[in-house]
């Protein structure tokens, strides 16, 4: 990706808090919006990274491309939904309104909805779903749906929201064929003997130590007991509604 190693102008301006100078440069020279700085970022990507929603909206209004990518493959929308900044929801909304790709993928194959599902970002997830994000979209690497991410990581409210929006709990991952309930049950166990065996069967190249550490973290931080209850109650309501 092209980059200008000497171009630190916008980063320096934002560090000084000189937003007015940035806006004026865009007005004077609209081609500035397609330039790349020393990190390979366009002005829009830099504005998103700084968490400045007003500046993001200004740049989009003046023609900034909402689908430009960083070196790491992150697009503007992926960068925005991954942020925990105070204005990240407003920034995400502005990008979506400007035509940001709802199904862009990170280097790990995850789409914006997968990220919000894993982190329990309900407002962002609803924003994406209302804009048309695929509630059952699968990651390109291990074939995980957003509901599976929520089940694995443990944000119960997110699991409930996804089910209400049409998530299919019967979908299975592309590694060992687990559905959302299986993933929640496994995640609740943490570093048990079952985790060792499950991780070993997923992929030969898996770093067992790192994977077990992640299993411990998921079990510690996620509300898997409630996720399991939500999934089982949903399955029960579906079964009860089916004609005999």
What pLDDT, in 10s, does the model give residues 48-94?
999 999 999 999 999 999 999 987 778 999 999 999 999 999 999 99
**Which comes out higher in pLDDT, residue 178 or 189?**
178
Same domain for 236 and 152? Answer: yes
Residue 68 located in a structural domain: yes
pLDDT at 23 over 60: yes
Domain boundary (82, 101, 120) is at: 101
The domain that contains 183 carries what CATH number?
1.25.40.20
Domain that holds residue 97: 7-101
Domain boundary (101, 129, 164) is at: 101
Residue 193 located in a structural domain: yes
Residue 2 located in a structural domain: no
pLDDT for the residue numbered 10? 78
Query: Do 159 and 147 contact (CB within 8 A), yes or no?
Result: yes
pLDDT for the residue numbered 194? 40
Specify the range with the lowest mean pLDDT, choosing from 16-30, 111-125, 160-174: 16-30
**Which comes out higher in pLDDT, residue 15 or 206?**
15
Same domain for 227 and 116? Answer: yes
pLDDT for the residue numbered 201? 42
Residue 84 located in a structural domain: yes
Q: Could you tell me the pLDDT band of residue 39, with boundaries at 50, 70 and 90?
A: confident
pLDDT at 214 over 60: no
> What is the total count of domains within the chain?
2
Mean of pLDDT over the chain: 85
Strand partners, 75: 69
Angle value at C-alpha 77, between 74 and 82, nearest 5 degrees: 75
Specify the range with the lowest mean pLDDT, choosing from 42-51, 134-143, 177-186, 203-212: 203-212
Same domain for 111 and 194? Answer: yes
pLDDT for the residue numbered 221? 64
Same domain for 114 and 179? Answer: yes
Report the percentage of the chain scoring pLDDT > 90. 59
Single pTM value for the model: 0.84
pLDDT for the residue numbered 197? 42
Same domain for 219 and 234? Answer: yes
pLDDT for the residue numbered 4? 56
Same domain for 55 and 145? Answer: no
Same domain for 96 and 129? Answer: no
CB atoms within 10 A of CB 88: 20
Domain boundary (63, 78, 101) is at: 101
pLDDT for the residue numbered 206? 46
Long-range contacts of 26-32 (CB under 8 A, 24+ apart): 26/58, 26/59, 26/62, 27/62, 30/62, 30/63
Residue 97 located in a structural domain: yes
Query: Do 45 and 37 contact (CB within 8 A), yes or no?
Result: no
Q: Could you tell me the pLDDT band of residue 188, with boundaries at 50, 70 and 90?
A: confident
Same domain for 138 and 58? Answer: no
Report the range out of 3-12, 94-103, 149-158 with the highest average pLDDT. Answer: 94-103
Residue 201 located in a structural domain: yes
Residue 192 located in a structural domain: yes
Same domain for 234 and 140? Answer: yes
Residue 123 located in a structural domain: yes
Same domain for 114 and 65? Answer: no
Same domain for 97 and 110? Answer: no
DSSP string over 1-48: ----TT--HHHHHHHHT-HHHHHHHHHH-GGGGG---TTS--HHHHHH
Angle value at C-alpha 161, between 143 and 138, nearest 5 degrees: 10
Same domain for 37 and 93? Answer: yes
């Amino acid at each position: 990706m092209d980059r200008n190693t000497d171009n630190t102008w916008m980063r320096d301006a934002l560090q000084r808090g000189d937003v007015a100078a940035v806006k004026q440069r865009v007005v004077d020279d609209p081609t500035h919006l397609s330039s790349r700085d020393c990190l390979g970022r366009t002005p829009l990507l830099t504005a998103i990274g700084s968490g400045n929603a007003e500046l993001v909206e200004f740049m989009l209004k003046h023609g900034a491309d909402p689908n430009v990518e960083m070196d790491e493959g992150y697009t503007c929308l992926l960068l925005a939904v991954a942020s925990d900044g105070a204005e990240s929801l407003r920034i995400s909304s502005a990008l979506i309104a400007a035509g940001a790709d709802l199904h862009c993928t990170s280097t790990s194959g995850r789409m914006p909805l997968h990220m919000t599902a894993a982190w329990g970002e309900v407002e962002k997830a609803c924003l994406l779903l209302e804009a048309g994000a695929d509630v059952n979209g699968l990651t390109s690497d291990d074939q995980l749906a957003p509901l599976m991410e929520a089940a694995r990581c443990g944000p119960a409210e997110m699991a409930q929201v996804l089910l209400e929006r049409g998530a299919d709990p019967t979908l299975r991952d592309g590694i060992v064929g687990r559905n959302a309930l299986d993933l929640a049950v496994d995640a609740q166990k943490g570093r048990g003997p079952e985790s060792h065996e499950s991780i070993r069967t997923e992929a030969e190249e898996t770093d067992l130590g790192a994977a077990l550490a992640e299993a411990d973290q998921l079990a510690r931080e996620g509300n898997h007991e409630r996720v399991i209850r939500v999934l089982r109650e949903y399955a029960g309501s579906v079964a009860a509604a089916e004609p005999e």
